[in-house]
Amino acid sequence: MARVAFRWTVLTVMGVFFLLPLVAMVEFSTRDPETWPLLLNWPKLSADYPALAVGILASLAQAAVTTVLMLVLLVPTAIWVRLRLPKVRPLVEFLCLLPLTIPAIVLVVGLAPVYAWVNYFVGGSSITLVFAYTVLVLPFAYRAVDTGLSAIDVKTLAEAARSLGSGWFTVIVRVVLPNIRSAVLSAAFLTVALVLGEFTIASLLHRTNLQVAIEFLGKSSATVSVAVSLAALLLAFVLLIVLSIAGSWKGKKS
């Protein structure tokens, strides 16, 4: 009985701790009845708040490009390391988890000189942030892909495919990838959620994205800024829910 009571107390306290700010955001952003309809009216939004519109588009583009870049770099690498270079796996794992241990602010200090060169060669567009973001999402994406690879016997499957006449490309595309689909999907969703919520690096490198725009907007139009924050949060929630559904669907299948 005491345990049940304790459990409910913890759940209630945690629930209030997480939900209270969100409830406050809902309450604050609905004080002006015009706010939420505005978010659904893109032409008006982009006319009234051009900086916010630019931020939203920039973040969406960053999320998309980072996801592609992450998948192209990470998935083949993780598979290759498993298949051919098992000895360097701990090193790769360490490297991929490194960004998690370095605070974003420290990362920026290191990235600033690198971005001076990026500015010089590619220009100062906000899309160039994808290079930093790809590093930033590595810990999460790597873990997701690696978990997927652990769930199947990659080595035997690859050897079976090779003995049947597949080259390495066919092995990866037709045998390994279809069996780690949900893991790859997880990595992609986590990347999108992370990029949509990123503020520090974008702000300190003087580039724009959704969070930078929200922060900027907070100074002039607080309700819209809070509403957009909430919408971005909800989008991330939806992504994570889709992720867990995709995971459990796969669990049922096998």
Partner 1 sequence: MTGVAVHLDGLRRTFGTVHALADLDLSISPGELIALLGPSGCGKTTALRILAGLEEATAGRVLVDGKDITRLPASKRDMGMVFQAYSLFPHLNAQQNVEFGLRLRKRSLKRAAEMLELVGLSGFENRYPNQLSGGQQQRVALARALAIEPQVLLLDEPLSALDAKVRVQLRDEIRRIQTEVGTTTLFVTHDQEEALAIADRVGVMKSGKLEQLAAPAEVYLRPATPFVADFVGISNRLPGVVEGDTVQVLGTKLPLVGTHADGAVTALIRPESIQVSPDPSSSAKVLTSSFLGSLSRVTVTVDDHLVVAQVPSGDLPELTQGTRVRLTISPLAVVVE
Task: Write out the residues near partner 1 by the rule CB under 8 A.
Answer: 152-153, 156-157, 159-167, 170, 175, 178-179, 254
Residue 183 in contact with residue 144, Cβ under 8 Å?
yes
Residue 37 in contact with residue 101, Cβ under 8 Å?
no
Distance in Å, CB of 147 to partner 1, minimum: 16
The token duo for 178 is 């279809």
Nearer to partner 1 by C-beta: 158 or 226? 158
Residue 58 in contact with residue 199, Cβ under 8 Å?
no
Amino acid present at 74: L
Distance in Å, CB of 84 to partner 1, minimum: 12
Nearer to partner 1 by C-beta: 157 or 185? 157
Instruction: Reduce the DSSP state of residue 198 to 3 states and report it.
Output: coil
Tell me how many degrees the CA angle 69-148-75 measures, rounded to the nearest 5: 25
Residue among 130, 115, 120, 118 at smallest CA distance from 205: 115
Nearer to partner 1 by C-beta: 43 or 165? 165
Distance in Å, CB of 177 to partner 1, minimum: 9
Distance in Å, CB of 90 to partner 1, minimum: 19
Distance in Å, CB of 176 to partner 1, minimum: 10
The token duo for 165 is 């006449």
Nearer to partner 1 by C-beta: 101 or 163? 163
Instruction: Reduce the DSSP state of residue 55 to 3 states and report it.
Output: helix
Residue 149 in contact with residue 78, Cβ under 8 Å?
yes
Nearer to partner 1 by C-beta: 118 or 183? 183
